[in-house]
């Protein structure tokens, strides 16, 4: 059965914007008769106790999910199998660039901002052997397209650039763009609701999914919560977490921002994606 999901990183408390996105992911899934799943994306920064805090907050505002939460840190075998498949297809290459190397290359004339410049793409074996003695290598995808188009339920067709992005970090851990594709496919997730700051990453992920023979999910990138200065909401912006505001105040703020009744059951009865606000939510402390 198809599914939607919410996939937080356990790096701290969820703020109002995170909770709003979780509510929207739940509503979209239930509205379309999908399962709703919770995935803990813990391959990067993890703060002790955050996972339990986040689950408590999600449950406090009424969210439920149809299977026990899964953790990316427990799925390394699945990532290794996909990496091996890409290796066998000669779609990976070693990259020894530091962040500084890439930043300096990106500032060169005619460089595409934010794109990997191809520095290590065609190194000789002798040069790679020499660099391996200096630092560990990341693995990048050898992309054969420059852009890829995805269909987003809120933004329509979105054509984004695709570069030779990282598949395995230089510490040997699967990169986010690989893990999220493997997890969504493995969990039967065909609807991805998340913040619109991630819209630009969707073409990379959809392209990788197509290389691996997976169905590309339906994307719905929803507006972010911003502070009064128009910047992404953060804990430093004042009382923006459930612990600070309390359950009822949090629920009221989140549902008011969506122009929905402050009850999940009632909200689901009247939920209509066509009437959702398309502008960012400005949270005033």
Q: Please enumerate, by residue number, every residue annotated as part of a binding site for ATP.
A: 235
Q: What is the largest CA-CA distance in the chain?
A: 65
Cα–Cα–Cα angle for 66, 271, 38, rounded to 5 degrees: 25
For residue 84, what are its two tokens? Answer: 């091996």
- Binding-site residues from annotation for L-glutamate: 5-9, 41, 176, 194
- Binding-site residues from annotation: 5-9, 41, 95, 97, 116, 120, 176, 194, 235
- Binding-site residues from annotation for Zn(2+): 95, 97, 116, 120
């Amino acid at each position: 059965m198809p599914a939607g999901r919410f996939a937080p990183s356990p790096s701290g408390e969820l703020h109002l914007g995170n909770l709003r996105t979780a509510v929207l992911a739940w509503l979209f899934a239930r509205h379309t008769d999908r399962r709703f799943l919770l995935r803990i994306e813990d391959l990067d920064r993890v703060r002790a106790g955050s996972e339990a805090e986040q689950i408590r907050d999600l449950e406090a505002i009424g969210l439920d999910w149809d299977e026990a939460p899964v953790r990316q840190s427990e799925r390394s075998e699945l990532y290794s199998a996909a990496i091996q498949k890409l290796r066998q297809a000669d779609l990976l290459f070693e990259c020894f660039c530091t962040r500084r190397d890439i930043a300096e290359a990106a500032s060169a004339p005619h460089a595409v901002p934010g794109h990997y410049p191809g520095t290590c793409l065609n190194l000789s074996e002798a040069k790679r052997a020499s660099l391996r003695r200096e630092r560990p290598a990341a693995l990048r995808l050898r992309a054969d397209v420059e852009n890829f188009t995805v269909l987003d339920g809120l933004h329509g067709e979105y054509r984004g650039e695709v570069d030779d992005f990282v598949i395995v970090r230089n510490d040997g851990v699967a990169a986010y763009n690989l893990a999220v594709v493997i997890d969504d496919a493995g969990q039967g997730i065909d609807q991805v609701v998340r913040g619109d700051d991630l819209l630009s990453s969707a073409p990379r992920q959809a392209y990788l999914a197509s290389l691996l023979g997976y169905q590309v999910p339906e994307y719905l990138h929803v507006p972010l919560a911003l502070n009064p200065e128009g910047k992404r909401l953060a804990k430093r912006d004042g009382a923006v977490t459930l612990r600070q505001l309390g359950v009822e105040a949090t629920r009221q703020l989140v549902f008011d921002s969506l122009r929905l009744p402050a009850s999940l059951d009632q909200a689901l009865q009247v939920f209509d994606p066509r009437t959702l606000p398309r502008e960012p939510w400005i949270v005033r402390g």
